[in-house]
Amino acid sequence: MGHRRFLPRDHHYRRLTEEFDGNEELGRARKSFDAFSRVENMNTILGKRSRTEQRDNWKKRSIFWDLPYWKSLEVLHSLDVMHIEKNVCDSLLGLLLNIPRKTKDGINARRDMEAMGIRKELAPIERANSIYLPPACYTMSGEEKRKFCQCLHDIKVPSNYSANIKSLVSMKDCYLEGVKSIGVPKSRHSGRLAGVGGVGKQLITPPSDELQIAHFTVLQHMTCIAPYVNEHKKILRLTHLRKSDNWYAKQHNEGFSAWLKKKVEETYGEPNVDKTVERLGIGPDFRVISYQGYDINGYTFYTKNQDDKSVTQNSGVTQIASRTNVDQMTIAKESYYGVIQEIWELSYSSFTIPLFRSKWVNNRTGVNVDEYGFTLVDLTTDGYKSEPFILATQATQVFFVKDPCKPRYHIVLQGKRRILGVDDVDDEEEYNQCDELPPFSVSIQQSNDYITIGTSYLQ
């Protein structure tokens, strides 16, 4: 207490009694401390001093004293904004809004006031072996809270400051979603994690066979289509006996889209048919929106053509797929690397699905691991031409750095994304910043296995 002595002599707070310690404040503020005179002629001494050397409190003059206005400041140090925000703002709001576990109006605060002899009406009262705290006169009602929050709604505050306010305020009584942030730049990925097209947008009409390949890529990754996939495979095995697994896989890949479309047309409009299945079964619009750049999942992807115009590299892509050994029926995870050639958005009337068409490195002949554990890829190889598409949501960005020791190869480096705080993402583990793909690989198996991405097979 005693801080009122720093107020002007005629300030009305000096005459208040009950609101403070019960007494008027008649004292004077102490004379300001002349720190500049102590350091004005000081020579900076670096390092430790000997025991015999005469000691003083200070041995170095701050460079701030070189500023012409510094010696005129009342407070000659920087205020700790972080702790002021946390200790003062949080405590004040918690007190005013009476937020559980945030308010400082507790038994200890009431007993402190009782010991100082102030605000006696707020002193704790013991009742039936329990302590009762009389309601504070400054406790807000629900309507007062709403009015108070409405005032905060139009205040511009730094982004981390508004986050603290949001965490304090009961959302049942107060909504601060419109609080504007200043001081911290907005992430370029804000509002774009789900996928938004960038540069080079145009409407194209691709060949029908390429469109069907892209459409089949979508179908094989949709959970709602899984029962139809199983049904189609079962029909193939019942109508064509004693065929190889490779034959069944090929027939399924080539005929599933047409079979599903016919099946959906037979039940079109029935109430028990999933509308998403209907749209997927009918197929996409023959017109496709293409882009040269696309933002999704915290990455910015470019096509190779767009990359050639830029000083940065954004066309490298990787996907983890399942490798299935047909003879032994074993499944293992394997990474595939490619360069994006085209970016498509397929329109299914009520929704769109983005895909990347890439030139893929052949894992059998174009991927190696050097003696240091780095993954090397030969970008001149061209593998898996029958399935060039992947869903954009499943893509992870990588960078290809030319190996100075092996000009034929490029070193694979994993891309990183920093999306904490973007679109309410508060747990970066949910997105896995490096996607469990470090720059080191354990091994690349060379075999005649078949690669499955979803339900399709690549040889």
pLDDT value at 173 more than 50:
no
CB 315 within 8 A of CB 303: yes
Average pLDDT of the segment spanning 335-358: 93
pLDDT value at 103 more than 60:
yes
Helices (H) and strands (E) in the chain, counts: 11, 19
pLDDT value, residue 195: 86
Q: Where are the domains of the chain?
A: 74-185, 202-281, 288-458
Q: What is the pLDDT of residues 226-236, one digit of tens each?
A: 899 999 999 99
What is the rounded CA–CA span in Å between residue 93 and residue 148? 10
- The CA dihedral of 48, 53, 58, 59, to the nearest 10 degrees, is -50
- Higher local confidence (pLDDT), 189 or 78: 189
pLDDT value, residue 231: 93
pLDDT value at 182 more than 70:
no
Q: Which of 83-97, 263-277, 444-458 has the highest mean pLDDT?
A: 263-277
Q: How confident is the model at residue 76 (pLDDT cuts 50, 70, 90)?
A: low
| Least confident span in 5-19, 82-96, 337-351 | 82-96
pLDDT value at 372 more than 70:
yes
Q: What is the pLDDT of residues 144-167, one digit of tens each?
A: 777 777 776 656 555 555 555 555
pLDDT value, residue 174: 52
If we measure between CA atoms, which residue out of 441, 453, 449 comes closest to residue 319? 453
Q: What is the pLDDT of residues 426-454, one digit of tens each?
A: 565 555 544 333 333 333 333 333 333 33
Instruction: Give the DSSP H or E segment for 294.
Output: strand 293-296
Coil, strand or helix at 446: coil
Q: How confident is the model at residue 370 (pLDDT cuts 50, 70, 90)?
A: confident
pLDDT value, residue 98: 76
Q: What is the pLDDT of residues 204-224, one digit of tens each?
A: 999 999 999 999 999 988 888
What is the rounded CA–CA span in Å between residue 257 and residue 265? 12
pLDDT value, residue 303: 95
What is the rounded CA–CA span in Å between residue 82 and residue 104? 19
Instruction: Give the DSSP H or E segment for 296.
Output: strand 293-296
Mean per-residue pLDDT over the chain, rounded: 78
Q: CB-based burial of residue 416 (10 Å sphere; 0-12 exposed, 13-18 middle, 19+ buried)?
A: exposed
Q: What is the pLDDT of residues 116-148, one digit of tens each?
A: 888 788 888 888 778 888 877 656 667 777 777
What is the rounded CA–CA span in Å between residue 112 and residue 74? 30
pLDDT value, residue 131: 84
pLDDT value, residue 216: 93
Instruction: Give the DSSP H or E segment for 323.
Output: strand 316-325
Read out DSSP for 31-63? PPP--HHHHTTPPP--SPPPTTSPP-S-----G
- Higher local confidence (pLDDT), 297 or 177: 297
- Higher local confidence (pLDDT), 54 or 38: 38
pLDDT value, residue 238: 93
